[in-house]
């Protein structure tokens, strides 16, 4: 079975986009070139990897197997590139971290302290839904995951390091502000302000709404949480946010906070990894900074 890494990159792009044309564009190839690469891979493995449907390219059972292994292979290739780069540019380590929006919101202080203490270590941070993060760690596409809520940890080792509470931020004197708490169904009667359409915060809200048989009515997708709070303050809509995001504006009377009566609203924060003890020393140090076990700003990597 012989094929090139480029064939795998093309395959992954098509699988992600569910479209040959869009996948080709994502890897900067023409559609005919991408089609050639895909055919080369299918000939090498001996079975079709996609079937064409009215909605685009759908993976076959063999394609699903290929997807799982291709992610691991390309993740290892990427890690090898980063590891080899340290021999030429002075970088001693590289950590791939996946996190959801809530855990990312609380990360900057710890991350900045870590980067200052470990100047030769780079951190590659990506936002994903918590369950997707667990899969990425399991498949070695991420070294460390920061997850929230009740998810399947897939046998990964984990450390609990905090919690958050999802609530609705509403404009002053909003009808929901007069209530002690609301259900998601109650809140979705109103127009929303949300962080980006591809953010884990919005994707989570969309999933919870779908389970309730509803569709969020979003007036605007703001670029970050401060922009979301400002839009809510000005009366553009209400927003589902972590309490830590809304707390400063609530304290100043700029917005009001409404408790969300849903079992998933209060969530534990956990760090996950395949084997915590097998992580490089600098990655274990990153975990200590995130959990607050290492608060000393004067620490320097030897």
Torsion-angle region of residue 94: left (phi > 0), alpha (psi -120 to 50) or beta? beta
Q: Which residues contact 279 (CB under 8 A, 6 or more apart)?
A: 143, 144, 273, 287
Domain with CATH 3.40.190.290 in the chain: 163-266
Measured in degrees and rounded to the nearest 5, phi and psi for residue 129 equal: -60, 150
pLDDT the model gives residue 297 = 38
Rounded Cα distance between 33 and 21, Å, is 10
Rounded Cα distance between 86 and 165, Å, is 40
Total number of residues shown for the chain: 302
Query: Tens-of-pLDDT digits for all 302 residues of the chain?
Result: 778 889 999 999 999 999 999 999 988 999 999 999 999 999 999 999 999 898 889 999 999 999 999 988 888 887 777 667 655 555 578 999 999 998 998 899 999 999 999 988 999 999 999 999 999 999 999 999 999 999 999 999 999 999 999 999 999 999 999 998 999 999 999 999 999 999 999 999 999 999 999 999 999 999 999 999 999 999 999 999 999 999 999 999 999 999 999 999 999 999 999 999 999 999 999 999 999 886 543 333 33
Q: Is the dihedral of CA 114, 284, 125, 106 positive or negative?
A: negative
pLDDT the model gives residue 66 = 93
Domain with CATH 1.10.10.10 in the chain: 5-70
CATH 3.40.190.290 fits 163-266, yes or no: yes
In 3D, which of 253, 262, 234, 261 has the Cα closest to residue 179?
261
pLDDT the model gives residue 19 = 93
Right CATH number for 5-70 from 3.40.190.80, 3.30.420.40, 3.30.70.20, 1.10.10.10?
Answer: 1.10.10.10
Kindly report the pTM of this predicted structure.
Answer: 0.68
Domain with CATH 3.40.190.10 in the chain: 88-162+268-291
272 close to 133: Cβ distance less than 8 angstroms? yes
pLDDT the model gives residue 302 = 35
Measured in degrees and rounded to the nearest 5, phi and psi for residue 108 equal: -50, -45
| Token pair in block for residue 73 | 């292979």
pLDDT the model gives residue 22 = 92
Right CATH number for 88-162+268-291 from 3.40.50.150, 3.30.460.10, 3.30.750.24, 3.40.190.10?
Answer: 3.40.190.10
pLDDT the model gives residue 93 = 86
Measured in degrees and rounded to the nearest 5, phi and psi for residue 252 equal: -90, 0
């Amino acid at each position: 079975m012989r094929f090139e890494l480029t064939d795998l990159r093309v395959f992954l792009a098509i699988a992600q986009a569910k479209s040959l044309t869009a996948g080709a564009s994502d890897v900067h190839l023409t559609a005919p070139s991408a089609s050639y690469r895909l055919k080369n891979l299918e000939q090498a493995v001996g079975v079709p990897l996609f079937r064409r449907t009215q909605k685009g390219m759908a993976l076959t059972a063999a394609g699903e197997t290929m997807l799982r292994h291709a992610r691991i292979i390309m993740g290892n290739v990427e890690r090898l590139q980063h590891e080899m780069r340290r021999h030429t540019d002075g970088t001693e380590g590289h950590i791939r971290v996946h996190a959801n929006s809530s855990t990312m919101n609380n990360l900057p202080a710890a991350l900045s302290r870590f980067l200052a203490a470990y100047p030769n270590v780079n951190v590659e941070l990506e936002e994903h839904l918590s369950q997707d993060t667990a899969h990425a760690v399991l498949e070695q596409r991420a070294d460390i995951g920061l997850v929230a809520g009740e998810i399947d940890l897939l046998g990964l080792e984990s450390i609990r390091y905090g919690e958050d509470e999802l609530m609705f931020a509403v404009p002053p004197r909003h009808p929901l502000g007069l209530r002690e708490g609301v259900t998601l169904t109650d809140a979705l009667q109103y127009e929303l302000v949300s962080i980006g359409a591809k953010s884990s915060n919005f994707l989570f809200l969309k999933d919870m709404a779908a389970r309730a048989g509803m569709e969020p009515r979003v007036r605007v997708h703001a670029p970050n949480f401060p922009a979301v709070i400002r839009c809510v303050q000005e009366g553009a809509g209400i927003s589902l946010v972590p309490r830590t995001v809304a707390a400063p504006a609530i304290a100043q009377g700029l917005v009001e906070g409404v408790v969300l009566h849903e079992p998933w609203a209060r969530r534990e924060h956990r760090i996950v990894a395949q084997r915590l003890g097998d992580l490089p020393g600098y990655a274990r140090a990153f975990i200590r900074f995130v959990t607050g076990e290492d608060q000393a700003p004067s620490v320097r990597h030897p």
